[in-house]
Amino acid sequence: MHELSMAMEVIELVQHEADKNGVSDIEEILIEVGDLCGVEADIFQSALEMVVKDTLLENASVRIIRTPGKGKCSACNVEFEMKNRLDFCPDCGCFASEVSGGQEFRVVSLVAE
């Protein structure tokens, strides 16, 4: 369950940024989780909820936005939405040669007091 270690890394990142900027309270955090990044968004959110006690995120609103996977067909150049990395082109059935979206895992923003 690497989602737990990812949640702990997010807390460390938030603490580092708060210390660097003299922040004592985080009101909201926005995290982007791509469908193809290898992190299950729901499990990550549950893991984060488990480890925020006694941290700056304990009372923060946690928002997670999911980014759909996108790929481009190597044969017909069609761009299409992907549910997983092994999806085939819906037009011609070839394997996607390029993944162009949905690989993100990042803290987008923090709202601090």
pLDDT in tens, 55-106: 999 999 999 999 999 999 989 999 999 988 888 899 998 877 789 899 999 9
Average pLDDT, the chain: 93
Q: Average pLDDT in the 10-36 region?
A: 95
- Tell whether 58 is covered by a domain: yes
Strand pairing category for 105-112 and 69-73: unpaired
- Tell whether 96 is covered by a domain: no
**Cβ contacts of 19 within 8 Å, gap of 6 or more:** none
Residue 63 belongs to domain with CATH number? 3.30.2320.50
Q: Is the pLDDT of residue 108 over 80?
A: yes
Number of independent structural domains in the chain: 1
Q: What is the pLDDT of residue 98?
A: 85
E strand intervals along the chain: 26-34, 61-67, 69-73, 79-82, 96-101, 105-112
Collapse the DSSP code of 33 into the 3-class scheme (helix H, G, I; strand E, B; otherwise coil) and give the result: strand
Label residue 36 by pLDDT band (50, 70, 90).
very high
- Tell whether 88 is covered by a domain: no
Tell me if 108 sits within 8 A of 36, measured CB to CB.
no
Domain that holds residue 23: 2-68+102-112
